[in-house]
Amino acid sequence: MSRHLTIRRWLSDVELVVWMQEAQDRSEFQRRQSVWLAYLEKWPAHRIARALGVSEVAIWKWIGQYNHQGPRGLERQGRGGRRWAFLSLEKEASLLVGFLEEAAKGRVLTAKQLLPLVSQAVGREVTRGYVYGLLHRHGWRKLSPRPGHVKGDPEAQEAFQKKGRRRASPKR
């Protein structure tokens, strides 16, 4: 047997019906109707879920939001943004300003080198992936010289680039 849904009385019966009917779209109507069915019709969560075509967990979540925050609790908040950010974008940018001077001098900066400094600024341990994400967010990119062979001759390479390769005569 399922638990009984308890609805906090934020609105009168008439106000609840009017509030349900004023929904702007289908999903908003479903959320409001779940409260209406639980309060006025006394339906259990599994029956409401089946009638609305949603999960029972969604019904419990919606009822909880309504009980804690009232009718405004069922208004959708966007899921975008930086919910797990350790620093604001401005603080991240100010942290990278110091590293920019080192990079401008031609010194190689790696995520491994920046990891302890970023962790100290954040106030907790962060992963190397977090450092890569921070650099990416602020337009930093990986720039490194092409590797050269140990036995490579820079003078011969320069002469080759200036002179170019001789082409063999075409076969007839």
pLDDT tens profile 119-150? 999 999 999 999 999 999 998 887 666 788 88
Expressed in angstroms, the distance from the first to the final Cα of the chain is 91
> At a CB cut-off of 8 Å and minimum separation 6, what does 93 contact?
138
User: Distance (Å, rounded) from C-alpha 145 to C-alpha 133?
Assistant: 22
pLDDT at 35: 92
pLDDT band at residue 167, thresholds of 50, 70 and 90?
low
Percent of the chain topping pLDDT 90: 37
Q: Check pLDDT > 90 for residue 82.
A: no
Find, among 77, 69, 37, the residue nearest to 54 by Cα: 37
pLDDT at 31: 92
pLDDT tens profile 12-42? 889 988 998 998 989 899 999 999 999 988 8
pLDDT tens profile 92-114? 999 888 888 877 787 777 888 88
Q: Which amino acid is at 42?
A: K
- Give the predicted TM-score (pTM) of the model: 0.47
Taking phi over 0 as left and psi of -120 to 50 as alpha, with beta for the rest, 123 belongs to: left
- Burial label for 68, CB within 10 Å (0-12, 13-18, 19+), is exposed
Q: Which two tokens stand for residue 165?
A: 């390769």
Q: What's the whole-number mean pLDDT along residues 50-66?
A: 93
Residue-wise burial string across 106-123, b where 16 or more C-beta atoms lie within 10 A, e elsewhere: eeeeebeebbeebbebbe
Q: Are the C-beta atoms of 63 and 7 separated by less than 8 Å?
A: yes
Mean pLDDT for all residues in the chain? 86
Q: What's the whole-number mean pLDDT along residues 70-79?
A: 81
